[in-house]
Structure 1
Amino acid sequence: MGKPSADVADIETAVVALRRSRQRRALARLAERRGEHAGHQAGLPEAAFELLDVVEAAEGQGSALTVTEVAALLGVDQPRSSRLTAQALAAGLLRREADQHDGRRSLLALTPEGRDVLARIRTFRRGVIVEATASWTTEDRAALAHLLTRFVRDFSAIARH
C-alpha cells in the first residue's frame, strides 16, 4: 500500500479527534454544563448509559444480551460489566429475564424507565448534532449521514476479522 491520499489522512485525523472527544466524555461534560442531566440524574457513570445503548441495540435486532456479552461489546472485563449492570438494575433502568432457551442464563432488558432515560439522552445528542451542523446544507447533512454510516459499517467489518 502506497502513501495515503490527503483525504485518507484527513479521515484518520477526524477519527482520532472523535476518539479523543469520546475519551474526554465531551458530550457528558457538555450536558452537565448545560444542565441536561437526562441520564445523570440516576447518579450512574457514563459507561452505564453505554451499557443501556448496547442493550437497546440488541433488543432492536430481536435479541437479548447476558452480562458477559455486554462486557465483550463494551470492551470491558466481566467484573466491570457486572458492576455497571448492578448499578443500572439498582437504578431501575434494566431488569433481568430468564432465558427461555437456557435456564442457566440471565438476559438483560430495558425497563420503561431505562427507555425514557435513553430517549432523553438521544434527544440531547441529536440536538448537539443539529447545533454542530446548523450552517450546513440539507445535502451536506445527508451526505455525512450516508458516508459516515457506510464508513462505520465497513470499518466494523474489517475490525471484526
Structure 2
Amino acid sequence: MSDPVAEVERGMIAIRRAQARRTLSRLARQRAGAQLDPAVLGVLDAVEEGAQRASTVGSIATALTIDQPRASRLVARAVAEGLLRRDADQRDGRRAVLVLTEAGQAALDRMHEFRRAVFAEAMADWPESDRADFGRLLTAFAERYAEISAE
C-alpha cells in the first residue's frame, strides 16, 4: 500500500521541477506564440492576486520571493511595456500602488486561458467527479500549506 503523503511529496516535487523549467511558458511559446517574459508574467500574476489589497514593489518582491531591486526592475519593465501603471496610494501619497492596465489584464486573461487549456488536457481522461475533487483538494491543500508557511 502506498503512502498518500509520500505521493503528494512526489507530485509536488514534479510540479516544482516543471515550474523551475518554466514548462508552461515554454508550451505557451510553442503552442500559442506567447512572447511575454515569464518573470514579467509572474509580476502580473502577483498584482492580480493582490488586487484586493494594494500591490507595491515590496509586496511583489515578497510574493515572488525575490529581492526588492529585482522586483523593481521587473515592475519597471511591466510599466514600460504598458502592462502595469503606478497610481498614487490614496492612504499614503508617497507610495505608489501597481494596477493592471487593459493590456496587462488582456495578457493575463490569455495566459489564464492557455494554462487552463493545458490543465484540462492533463486531466482529459479523468471523470468529472475526479476533476472536481482534485480542484477542491488541491485548493484546500494550497491554502493550508500557505497558512503553515506563513507561521
TM-score range, shorter chain: over 0.9
2:148 maps to: 158
Say what the alpha-carbon RMSD is for the aligned residues: 1.0
Are positions 1:28 and 2:25 aligned together?
yes
Are positions 1:52 and 2:32 aligned together?
no
TM (normalized to structure 1)? 0.90
CA deviation after TM superposition for structure 1 residue 36, in Å: 3.3
Kindly provide the CA deviation profile for residues 5-38 of structure 1, in whole angstroms up to 9, marking residues without a partner as x: 711111000001000000000011111221331x
Please give the secondary structure, in 2, of the residue aligned with 1:154: helix
Runs of 4 or more off by more than 4 Å in structure 1?
A: none
1:12 maps to: 9
Percent same amino acid at aligned positions?
A: 46
Q: How many residues align?
A: 150
Question: Of the candidates 95, 99, 104, which is equivalent to residue 94 of structure 2?
Answer: 104
What is the CA–CA distance in structure 2 between the aligned matches of 1:117 and 1:66, rounded to whole Å?
20
CA deviation after TM superposition for structure 1 residue 134, in Å: 0.7
Bigger relative contact order (CA 8 A; separation at least 6): 1
What is the CA–CA distance in structure 2 between the aligned matches of 1:35 and 1:111, rounded to whole Å?
22
Are positions 1:121 and 2:111 aligned together?
yes
Unpaired runs of 5+ residues, structure 1, are: none
Unpaired runs of 5+ residues, structure 2, are: none
What is the CA–CA distance in structure 2 between the aligned matches of 1:21 and 1:15, rounded to whole Å?
10
What is the CA–CA distance in structure 1 between the aligned matches of 2:103 and 2:37, rounded to whole Å?
17
What is the CA–CA distance in structure 1 between the aligned matches of 2:64 and 2:101, rounded to whole Å?
20
